[in-house]
Structure 1
Amino acid sequence: MKELAGDGILVQVSCRVLKLSRQPYYRWLRSPVTGRELMQAYRANALYDAHIEDPEFGYRFLADEAKSFGEPMCDRTAWRLCRDQQWWSAFGKKKARGKGRKPGPPVHDDLVQREFVAAAPNELWLSDITEHWTGEGKLYLCAVKDVWSNRIVGYSIDAQMTSALAVTALNNAVLRRGDVARCVLHTDRGSQFRSRKLQRALTGHRMAGSMGRVGAAGDNAAMESFFSLLQKNVLNRKTWATRDELRSAIVTWIERTYHRRRRQARLGRLTPLEYETIMNKQVALAA
């Protein structure tokens, strides 16, 4: 009791010297964090979660994501919170090329080590993202390739390069292939492949993730070879007026030309679909 009385006297003397009212001090003592501060903290947390998922999103998109998390706010509030915490879109702040950029940390070890071989389907998949300009803006393609047959088992095309682009491509591949448990998905360290959404998808499909090194193109060379073919045969053939026009051309080339007509030396001069058909028959006869 004496200590409490002493503290009270100390507070009275301090407030008198500083010319402060004691009532606001006691109100703060009963509730150090105000309701407004707590609300702002919840909003900031929702914006941060959305920013980590998709670093390309600006504050307006982050506000939309935060609303879906149960923390609605106006765009101005989202901008102020993002400004205070320096949560800028990956596309928003220009930096000198090669300077000030730090690669994201890998969320998986490199399980491939440039050994792009597979003895059976759904053992090793590769994935990457490419982009191309149209008259309406950029169009992004995320493709998933089975190393066993070089077939593009899943892909996603969108006007935005977000984690959903990679997740949709992976889910499409799983729908086409069926049982993919213990399959390895090898990618680079792009934010879309490091996102928590993709990690949850891998876990849900019981797959393993693998990531190459920074700045080492050879770590995903087998996927780059497919994009090189796509660049020469589709993307650079003409100027594309609309995204829909380019989307249709990409899908047509993958499904009709690459899968069914383009013979590959590594597959014994067979197309990916021919190779899969022959190999699957052999496996069925052997069984």
Structure 2
Amino acid sequence: MPGLKFVGDITYLPTAEGLLYLATVIDLCAREVVGWSMADHMRTELVADAIRMAQAGGHTAGDAIFHSDRGSQYTSNQFRSLLGELDIRQSTGRTGSCFDNAAAESFFVVLKAEIGTTVRETRTQARQDVFRWIAEHCNRERLHSAIGYITPHQARVRCHQRLDLAA
């Protein structure tokens, strides 16, 4: 069911102005990126803004689980408090293991392969490229093997249709 299990992580994209950091929230049911945030820093606000975007978009259900690595942004009191306010339980991976957060890691590999690793002139340009890729291509056009070679958007719609039929 969408809205119950999420993974998140942070990556960066180089620009001539410096690094642009990207934090994501991915719904594991549909493999849809439902929250993201970009900034010139990796502070807790970066990941907090991504989870707030997921919640504000109506993508989180009560008693959801959010899984991440043990980065300081995710283990901070500020982030833990926010998850509590949003009725989301926290899960973190084992130290030194990226395998339990493979869906988030895999997403970043695909992102960088498809938008390219070219150093963009500005953070604004990188931000626009990432936004366009996630919002238009990744969620609505790109077929995903883990969900039967349909788009994440189609997977979410199908899940909601099944829930509506069952009710």
TM range (shorter): over 0.9
Q: CA deviation at 1:245?
A: 0.2
Listed as ranges, the gaps of 5+ residues in structure 2 are: none
- Residue deviations 1:236-268 (CA, integer Å, cap 9, x gap): 1x2200000000000000011111111112212
SS of residue paired to 2:26? strand
Q: Does 1:171 align with 2:42?
A: no
**Corresponding residue to 2:6 among 93, 106, 125:** 125
C-alpha distance in structure 1 between counterparts of 2:147 and 2:33, whole Å: 14
Determine if contact 1:153/1:177 at 8 Å carries over to the other structure: no
Measured in 1, the distance between the counterparts of 2:104 and 2:137 equals 17
Q: Name the SS for the 2:13 alignment partner.
A: strand
TM-score (norm 1): 0.57
Q: TM-score, normalising length from structure 2?
A: 0.96
Quote the sequence identity (%): 32
Does the 8 A contact of 2:7 with 2:28 survive in 1? Answer: yes
Deviation track 1:72-109 (CA, whole Å, cap 9, x = no partner) reads xxxxxxxxxxxxxxxxxxxxxxxxxxxxxxxxxxxxxx
SS in 1 for 2:30: coil
Segments of 4+ in structure 1 off by > 6 A? none
Aligned to 1:256: 136
What residue is the counterpart of 2:24 in the other structure?
143
Q: Give 1:229 deviation, angstroms.
A: 0.3
1:278 to partner: Cα distance: 2.0
Alignment check: 8 A CA contact 1:132 1:235 kept: no
How far did residue 206 of structure 1 move? Answer: 1.5
- Cα deviations across residues 108-149 of structure 1 (Å, max 9, x unaligned)? xxxxxxxxxxxx112210000001210000100000000000
Q: Is the contact between residue 23 and residue 46 of structure 2 (CA under 8 Å) also seen in structure 1?
A: yes
Q: Which has the higher helix share?
A: 1
1:274 alignment counterpart: 154
| 5+ residue gaps, structure 1 | 1-119
How far apart, CA to CA, are the structure 1 residues paired with 2:48 and 2:18? 22
The count of residues paired between Structure 1 and Structure 2 equals: 167
Counterpart-to-counterpart distance in 1, 2:159 and 2:151: 12
Cα distance in 2 for residues equivalent to 1:257 and 1:165: 23
Go from structure 1 to structure 2 and tell me whether the alpha carbon gap of 1:235 and 1:200 turns closer, same or farther (over 3 Å shift).
farther
More strand by proportion, 1 or 2? 2
Larger Rg: 1
Q: Which residue of structure 2 lines up, in the alignment, with residue 194 of structure 1?
A: 75
Amino acid at match of 1:211: T
- Amino acid corresponding to residue 132 of structure 2 in structure 1: T
Q: Pairwise CA RMSD of aligned residues?
A: 1.2
